A = this chain, B = another copy of it.
Amino acid sequence: METVIKSALSEVIIGNEMPFVVIGEKINPTGRKKLAAEIKDRNYEYILGIAQKQIDAGADILDINVGVPGIDEITVLPELAKLISESFDVPICLDSANHNALAAALAVLPGKPLVNSVNGEEASLDAVLPVVKDFGVAVIGLTMDDNGISNNFETRLAIAEKILTRAVQIGIPENDVVIDPLVLTVGADSNAGFVTLKTIELVSKKFGVNINLGASNVSFGLPDRHIINQAFLSLAIGFGATCAITDPVNLTGIIRATDLLVGRDSNAMRYIKNYRLRKKV
């Protein structure tokens, strides 16, 4: 199944026969003071630099999150998203739980952005899915609901099914819903990786939809985090994940190597191209 995400002039296809899609995670102020200050000041020079660096490193799509306490997301998210879409020909992933901010940004963006995210909570489904439907875009569906994040993969599978069903009911095509099976840190629960991988496998086999991964939480609190993140990306791709919101500077190497090893990189061309990019960055 293919999910097409578009900028003004180009498109990215997420799909299980395609190279793994990298959604750059770095435009997100969580834990980053300088970025938070710049968003608050609506002064975006530094952020344009982060965008450029991620594109140079091989990001296919850029995630944009402006979640700084006290700012007006309904003004700032469209403003920054529009600026980035005018500065770079790269598709955008709008990262917000506020459906009004999402709608305001979608109204000013060209192409077909990806919305990050809806989840299985009734309030989220009711607020976000109509916006996605109205703008004809695609959406990431997180496998959590009013009971929180389950550590049972059958429960996460059921939430994925609920999100898919509700999306299709209001007229969003199934291939425009990308399921995110969520991952907690293995440092707190050593079964957390397994539950996520099993959810990926089950959702992939049962629905054939695209699967996204927020791939950096898994290693939180443990030493040598990059090794755990690398292993997790390879495993997740092996089990059926097709895109990730992750660090393009440090992790595209392992992603391109994994694509090559699962037979999705003819003549190792993307692997070698990415190797050259990484050496330049």
- Chain A positions within 8 Å of B, measured between CB atoms, are 186-187, 190-191, 193-195, 197, 218, 222-224, 227-228, 230-232, 234-235, 237-239, 253-254, 257-258, 260-263, 265-268, 271-272, 275
Contacts and interface: CB of A to CB of B under 8 A. Distances in A.
A261 B224 contact: no
Given A224-B257, A231-B234, A238-B238, 4 more contacts: A193-B260, A218-B261, A231-B254, A234-B258
Given A190-B265, A262-B194, A231 B257 contact: yes
21 contacts: A186-B260, A186-B261, A186-B268, A187-B268, A190-B266, A190-B267, A191-B263, A193-B261, A193-B262, A195-B263, A197-B238, A197-B262, A222-B268, A223-B272, A224-B253, A224-B257, A224-B275, A227-B254, A228-B260, A232-B261, A235-B262
Contact of A258 (B191, B235, B257): B235
> How many copies of this chain does the complex contain?
2
A271 B194 contact: no
A276 to B, nearest CB: 9
Nearest to A225: B257
Contacts of A227: 230, 253-254, 257
A31 to B, nearest CB: 22
Contacts of A197: 238, 261-262
A187 to B, nearest CB: 6
Given A191-B263, A235-B235, A235-B238, A257 B228 contact: yes
Q: For A194, A230, A257, which residue has the most chain B Cβ atoms within 10 angstroms?
A: A257
A191 B191 CA distance: 32
